[in-house]
Amino acid sequence: MTTDLVTRVRDAGIIGAGGAGFPSHIKSGSKAEMVIANGAECEPLAQADQQLMVKHADTVIAGLALLMDSVGASKGIVALKKKYKTAIDSLSMAISGKENIELFLLRDFYPAGDEFVLVHEVTGRVITEGNLPLSEGVVVQNVGTLFNISEAERGIPVTHRHISVLGEVKHPATFRVPVGTAFGDVIAMAGGAKVEEYAMIAGGPMMGRVTFDVSGTVNKTLGMLLVLPKNHPLITLKTRPLQRNIRLIKSACTQCSYCTELCPRYLLGHSLQPHKIMRSLDYGNVVAPDVVTSAAACSGCGLCETYACVQGLSPRQVNMEIRAELAKRGYRHEPQKVKVKARQEMEHRKVPSERLLSRLGLEKYKEIAPLKETPYSVRQVKIGLRQHIGAPAVPVVEEGDVIRQGDLIADIPDGYMGAKYHASVSGRVQRIGGGEIVIEAA
């Protein structure tokens, strides 16, 4: 039974729908006492998961039950925010009679959906630095991934993605679109942009990536596309070049340590203290090497840059750069063995989502993006071969091949961790190259 689900999840090309794209068959083959369905969806304005839980609660719960069975978990928890009233109603009906599955209601704070924070909220346990939820006997899986697991059990691979299109668009909505749909197409589905000069944040205002390229595409992990005026302060902050940020830190960091005091990882008892890393950038300042390597524990949540820092600096950007450099040099952040406790002040330093939204200057975009699952026809999709963590997938089709939606188009290379990809539309393979397969829709 276990092997079956692992194989089906692998064959369906499922990767974590809410995060970095970790191949889900690996988690499905582990052993855990508890599975947490992550429905916290903490990025400000995000709502694709919420809509999914309202409309497809039964499918999400079926996926959770399958995963619990696969990992041998005796308990399943669906963690979502107290404010998601309609989703709570739908899920309560879906779990009725299932004694080993419960709902866990979270306060509305950021980053409630961070795996480390979520496991602490639900179980009171702290995952130590460099470890995974599994070290505490827990598997965390996003509700969108659980939806896909349930579909995989019926032999349906991942070809589509629920995505909310918000901000400066005429009709904000949550669509179910083929993987590989261009950003320009999803903006058109939402009635088009309301401003002439705009930028997009793919993936949420806190951790998402700014892009100006409408030919960028929806991948399996993307739940939100936020359209903002090009000169919105958040776009300016997120596109500030690293060297300029470092110059500003050298001249303007007051060492107030607010970035540390509000850092969710520091509050969990981890060693990360961003203000000390910022101090290390100062001229001639020599710090202990472990201050710098502690950047590996940074989640990139962005609270330091958007909420904590009174000087408008970005410790997050510096930490991400250090992380990337450490990874390039083969540094591995060793999992810490000594258990730690969350710091006492954590409870009082949870940042309310409403205040964060106001600080980000995004209050005016707070509106419902209703779920629209009507199929939209797209002319073309571009399917990236590395939407996941691991080795890029290897094409198994050739240019000119005629394929149907759901056909396997790229496979996991032998001996590597990876994910499979399937045609998200029926049509003809137009081009293979540049790390993607382009399909012209029939």
Q: Which stretch binds ligand SF4 (CB under 6 A): 46-54, 90-98, 253-261, 333-341?
A: 253-261
Report yes or no: 230 and 199 within 8 Å, Cβ to Cβ.
yes
Report the alpha-carbon distance of residue 79 to residue 123 in Å, rounded: 11
Q: Which stretch binds ligand SF4 (CB under 6 A): 25-33, 260-268, 353-361, 362-370?
A: 260-268
CB of 16 to ligand SF4, least distance (A): 19
| 253 makes contact with ligand SF4 (CB under 6 A) | yes
Question: Which residues in 26-59 are b (16+ Cβ under 10 Å) and which e?
Answer: ebbbeebebbbbbbbbbbbbbbbbbbbbbbbbeb
If one asks whether residue 265 binds ligand SF4 (CB under 6 A), the answer comes out as yes
| 106 or 309: CB nearest ligand SF4 | 309
The residue (of 22 and 116) whose beta carbon lies closer to ligand SF4 is 116
Query: Is the CB of residue 25 less than 8 Å from the CB of residue 10?
Result: yes
Tokens of 36: 């947490």
Q: Which amino acid is at 144?
A: G
Closer Cβ to ligand SF4, 173 or 309, answer by number = 309
Range 292-321, binding ligand SF4 (CB under 6 A): 298-304, 308-309, 311, 313, 315-316, 319
- In the complex, the smallest distance separating the C-beta of residue 291 from ligand SF4, rounded to whole angstroms, is 12
Helices (H), 96-133: 115-123
Token digits of residue 61: 């719960």
For residues 342 and 221, give the distance between their C-alpha atoms in angstroms, rounded to a whole number.
Answer: 30
Residues 6+ apart with CB under 8 A from 186: 163, 165, 175, 177, 218, 225
Least Cβ distance, residue 328 to ligand SF4 (angstroms): 19
Concatenate the DSSP letters of all residues of 284-319 into one string: T----HHHHHGGGG-----HIIIII-TT---HHHHH
Structure-block tokens of residue 12: 């369906």
For residues 277 and 419, which CB has a smaller minimum distance to ligand SF4 in the complex?
277
Q: Which two tokens stand for residue 385?
A: 């071969």
DSSP H or E segment with residue 352: strand 351-352
Q: Which stretch binds ligand SF4 (CB under 6 A): 40-48, 151-159, 233-241, 272-280?
A: 272-280
* Closest CB 437 distance from ligand SF4, rounded Å: 34
Dihedral pair phi/psi, residue 2, rounded to 5°:
-60, -50
Neighbours of 136 (CB within 10 A): 20
Q: Is 242 near ligand SF4 (CB under 6 A)?
A: no
Which of 278, 381, 385, 429 contacts ligand SF4 by CB under 6 A?
Answer: 278
Footprint (CB under 6 A) of ligand SF4, residues 317-376: 319
To the nearest whole angstrom, how small is the minimum distance from the Cβ of residue 148 to ligand SF4? 28
Nearer residue to ligand SF4 within complex by CB, 177 or 356? 356
> Smallest Cα–Cα separation from 53: which of 68, 45, 63?
63
Token readout for 398 is: 């050739």
In the complex with ligand SF4, the residue whose CB is nearer, 32 or 253, is: 253
Give the binding-site size for ligand SF4 (rule: CB under 6 A).
Answer: 28
Q: Give me the least distance between CB of 323 and ligand SF4, in Å please.
A: 9
Stretch that binds ligand SF4, among 65-73, 97-105, 251-259, 367-375 (CB under 6 A): 251-259
Query: What letter would DSSP give residue 95?
Result: H
Q: Applying CB under 6 A, does 13 fall inside the site for ligand SF4? A: no
Which stretch in 188-196, 261-269, 283-291, 348-356 sits in contact with ligand SF4 by CB under 6 A? 261-269
Binding site for ligand SF4 (CB under 6 A): 253-259, 263-265, 272, 274-275, 278, 298-304, 308-309, 311, 313, 315-316, 319
